[in-house]
Structure 1
């Protein structure tokens, strides 16, 4: 049975990541679907429609041998500025994105979480829910929602978290994943500390699983890639898949950073789309890696870690031992943190390519002594194997770690917020749309999750009581 994922991309950053995500998803499916048929793997992200009808008619997967007519992404696209959306529609993805699933305005949220959450959210509530309902009804077995957004601006943070709260209310039984871009410490949006903390508090309350991504970490990763090498020729996607990437096309700013985030999402969903000897659904991730409801933030790392267009620059195939060692290296993380010196609540290792369970178990046994696992979950590894590697490499590994090191990231965000809020800088912009008590509530919520992670990090195993056998005595 098909297992669909509905993607909601919100704001400029969320839509730019979504654009790269759809581009790379088409490229990946084209590599493994040379016959151009609409199979279960493709149906996870796309609908196959017959555009001769008005409205277009959805074509079922059936036995997986039907020819692709017109692919439409299972997505809802939201932005309160129409610039990015118009650019996407004019580009090679224009035919893949369903224009009936777009919601936009013209003025934007002005980098103000309150404007997005308390004005645009309620204003477009009915439209957003109708778009989401139509997308959900086109699914046979909806597995989860995936929200792409950032925390530093106004639309992605304010409208994005408003949508997240709506999903929790209207679809409580469907898991809610978010790929949330955290702002850099030197972010040029002066109100980003307010937006980020308000958004983070909503992620704590209404998300089931959050994949934090830091702009600064992505920039450092891209900086380590040899940008001076000659440009590689992009792969051409068959016309049946709705998009053709012209050779020699020029990359746009942030494409490499967005591509790394998109690759992480493709690796995470690979087992949903392709077969393997040890498949892992998204539901399995939340079940095994989130031991406490609010402690659902997963630090992601990948190997090989490079921008998709630079896959050909990898000088030699990596061994499995190298790959496993690299995903526990800070330079391969999509967020700047130090998990090796903090406690792991659980750890997911999702392998793609030609590997066996014995290979994975051997590497876990090799690396495990250097990790500090929670004393109540010393065997807390969730393993997955998907037989299809990313395009251009023979093996790849994604690590999703629920680690207490994330508390330091939250502490930094809270401290940046406190520096502004204690002097009430810029708060008058927010008071137009909300009560200032929401700042205090958000700060308390974030402080609470920090305390929860710190409590696990400093916990010690209870003493073991040993009883001495006295043997038997007879009178």
Structure 2
């Protein structure tokens, strides 16, 4: 069994990470009724040796079974200690190793340069030692998952600095990045700077990146709340999102997890959508299946060129059918939903763009023949690049999400991401042509004005690569004439 380490950076990264670990425990406890430490748990958790650490009891979901000193394979980093401190006072406090926490007090001030150039350099050795220590507890380390936001200072700055450390110190280990992008109406005025500066680092040092848009998450939550009958639900408010979501819905922590509904915070609903995406993505690493997908196979099959590593994620169902008392979606309809823009964690429409490759990660009692039938049904409506028309990667994990008969996560390498990057570039240029707020960055030691232009050039190059491929869809190359052999 291989192991993975999660590095969660900044407020957003730690909040999503916290939801991931809570829901992961919920899933494992639904299968592991006796609470015995096994290989499935070992993929993302370790059982502390009581001879070296003080053992504690970690209650599993529903209170069924206990495991001595279960610790998440996680490193928590934040330059403003509030969120990490709150986690360490909450119901998951015993899951995290206090030796794997790295915090400061003042924060990065929504400034990529402060996070990357100042705090990154200052905490480099401490971060490396924490990651190294986590790696030493692994028998067969397979990959790192880095979770962070792109709009803030710590998430974008320290998050990408962590990525640099992983690339330098663990070059053979795959690096998966879940990066949350700010919406157009983001209240951080410098978020376009932070995002573009961070994207240059992602393009150079990540093996696979999963961009998530805040606005797409808001849209999904609103869609869910509109689809759930009010008679079955209680009204809840999450920041700018107001809706009717039952407390044990799949997008909430629920009664089955360690975290209680009363402990939920404003953006937990949105964070849980991302956490569920990570749960489905890692399901093959955590549970058995007839057609399990090795995590490294995702990069091998979906990233044909080094720069084009940004995958569009989509998942269905978006809520637990058991919780909302609606009839389950038919299996074929689930596949149709997964290719709908309403189920994507990025605001783009892949059906009108070009697929380079696509992975279908199915969970539950589904036959391989069902997957093949739906691929054949959907293929005519999806445009694949000519040299990879059969570019499908399929995975089938036997264990469904809690409260659902089956689920589907699609990861698509599609040129539609260029529209998101185009919008980001436009917001960056609008600020940069006036050099607005630039002085807040250049006063940080090690930050140069050239970093802005180099990052913009990197983004331009990325967008151009996607555009060149998309042109092949509208202007395919002329067929090469066959060689005529004289008889």
Same fold flag (TM > 0.5): yes
Q: Indicate the residue corresponding to 2:477 in structure 1.
A: 462
Question: Aligned partners of 2:87, 2:289: CA distance in 1, in Å?
Answer: 34
Tell me if 1:100 matches 2:99: yes
Shift of residue 251, structure 1, vs aligned partner: 2.7
Structure 1: stretches of 5+ with no match in the other structure: 58-65, 238-242
Q: 1:446 aligns with which of 436, 448, 459?
A: 459
- Give the 5 Å matches for 1:358-437: 358-433=369-444, 434-437=447-450
TM-score normalised by the chain length of structure 2: 0.90
- Deviation of 1:55 (Å): 7.1
Residue of structure 2 in register with 1:275 after alignment: 288
Q: Which residue of 1 aligns with 2:183?
A: 184
Q: 2:238 — aligned with what?
A: none
1:352 partnered with 2:363? yes
Distance in 2, Cα, partners of 1:24 & 1:117:
31
* 2:219 aligned partner: 220
Q: CA deviation at 1:462?
A: 3.1
How far apart, in 2, do the equivalents of 1:30 and 1:369 lie?
A: 41
Match of 1:293 in 2: 306
Secondary structure, in 3 states, of the residue corresponding to 1:147?
A: strand
1:78–1:470 distance in 2 versus 1, CA, 3 Å = closer
1:244 paired residue number:
258
Match of 2:240 in 1: none
Q: 1:107, 1:439 → 2: CA distance? A: 25
> Corresponding residue for 2:239?
none
Structure 1 residue 250: deviation in Å? 5.0
Shift of 1:224: 1.4
* Cα deviation digits, residues 291-327 of structure 1 (max 9, x gap): 0011000000001013x6x861150112111010000
Number of positions where the alignment pairs a residue of Structure 1 with one of Structure 2: 455
Shift of 1:201: 1.0
Following superposition, the deviation at residue 3 of structure 1 comes to 1.0
Following the alignment from structure 2 to structure 1, what is the Cα–Cα distance between the partners of residues 482 and 72?
63
Runs of 4+ residues deviating >6 angstroms: 468-471
Residues 347, 401 of structure 1: 8 Å contact kept: yes
Q: TM-score, normalised by structure 1?
A: 0.92
**Partner SS for 2:147:** strand
Corresponding residue number in structure 1 for 2:237? none
User: What is aligned with 2:297?
Assistant: 284
Provide the aligned C-alpha RMSD in A.
1.9
User: Residues 386 and 437 of structure 1: is their aligned pair in 2 closer, same or farther, counting only changes over 3 Å?
Assistant: same
Mapped contact 2:46–2:70 kept (Cα < 8 A): yes
CA pair 263-427 structure 1, distance change in 2 beyond 3 A: same
In the alignment, the residues of structure 2 paired with residue 201 and residue 345 of structure 1 have an alpha-carbon distance, to the nearest angstrom, of 22
Partner of 2:151: 152
> SS of 2:461's equivalent?
helix
How far apart are residue 465 of structure 1 and its match?
A: 3.9
Check whether the contact 1:27–1:235 (CA below 8 A) recurs between aligned residues: no
